[in-house]
């Protein structure tokens, strides 16, 4: 598990718990998880309605943070 303070726009309350939004989860998977975990997980999020463009915009909004270059590269591999 990775722990850090997140802006309110990246979280929501679900079942009484604060969790990351779908797009933030996708970004974090691409930034921190092994590609064999990140790619199929994010591909499933895309199949369920999250767009690659949304993920790319969210990654861009994070700025130069750890894993951002890696995440952008993995995301390019998901684009049709």
The reply to whether 62 falls in a domain is yes
Global pTM value: 0.88
The reply to whether 78 falls in a domain is no
Cα–Cα distance list, 6 to 21, 66, 74 (Å): 11, 15, 23
The reply to whether 2 falls in a domain is no
Tens digits of residue pLDDT in 37-80: 999 999 999 999 999 999 999 999 988 988 999 999 999 988 87
Report the domain count for the chain: 1
Provide the pLDDT for residue 1.
60
Give the residue numbers spanning the domain of 34.
Answer: 8-68
| Burial of 55: CB neighbours in 10 Å, binned 0-12, 13-18, 19+ | buried
What b/e sequence results for 9-34 when a residue is b if at least 16 CB atoms lie within 10 Å of its CB, and e otherwise?
Answer: ebeeeeeeeeeebbbbbbbbbbbebe
Compute the C-alpha angle 9/33/75, nearest 5°.
70
């Amino acid at each position: 598990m990775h722990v850090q303070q997140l802006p309110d726009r990246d979280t929501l309350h679900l079942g009484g718990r604060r969790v990351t939004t779908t797009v933030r989860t996708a970004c974090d998977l691409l930034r921190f998880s092994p590609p064999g975990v990140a790619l199929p997980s994010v591909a499933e999020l895309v199949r369920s309605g999250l767009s690659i463009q949304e993920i790319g915009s969210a990654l861009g909004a994070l700025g130069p943070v750890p894993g951002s270059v890696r995440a952008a590269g993995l995301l390019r591999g998901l684009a049709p």
